[in-house]
Amino acid sequence: MTWFKNARLRNGVPNFCAVALALNDLGYKAIGIRLDSGDLAYLSCVIRKLFCSIEKEFGLPGFGKMSITASNDLNGETIDALNKQGHQIDAYGIGTYLVTCYAHAQAALGVVFKLVEINNKPRIGN
């Protein structure tokens, strides 16, 4: 697995790729990944290269074009800075600044809710 040796990422991305490959073997296609911390521009470029190398190594058309979504208290200024740096981000998750009008000195509470159960049944995704 050349892609894994060359990944050099100390986050969940190699795990995502391994799961995406396993799902592919079962007939499912991964859609993409979300970055919510770190240097988003740099990571998006590294991840795009990784996705492309996996596409080539395993002959998986489209793997290199999987969506990379970025979030992390993004606003117009941070997106402008990302654009100036250059990146491989396909979509942005803008929540805090959109909902709270944080740009006008409105206080915001940075909270993440993760759905894990509905009616005593574990849930992932849908």
| CATH of range 2-122; options 3.90.1640.10, 3.40.50.2000, 3.20.20.70, 3.30.70.330 | 3.20.20.70
User: What's the rounded mean pLDDT across residues 36-54?
Assistant: 94
Identify the pLDDT of residue 58: 94
Using the predicted structure, report yes or no on whether residue 125 has a pLDDT greater than 60: no
Per-position b or e across 86-117, b if 16+ CB within 10 A of its CB: ebbbeebebebbeeeeeeeeeeeeeeeeeeee
Identify the pLDDT of residue 5: 62
Domain boundaries of the chain, sorted by first residue: 2-122
Using the predicted structure, report yes or no on whether residue 46 has a pLDDT greater than 80: yes
Using the predicted structure, report yes or no on whether residue 65 has a pLDDT greater than 90: yes
More confident: 28 or 110: 28
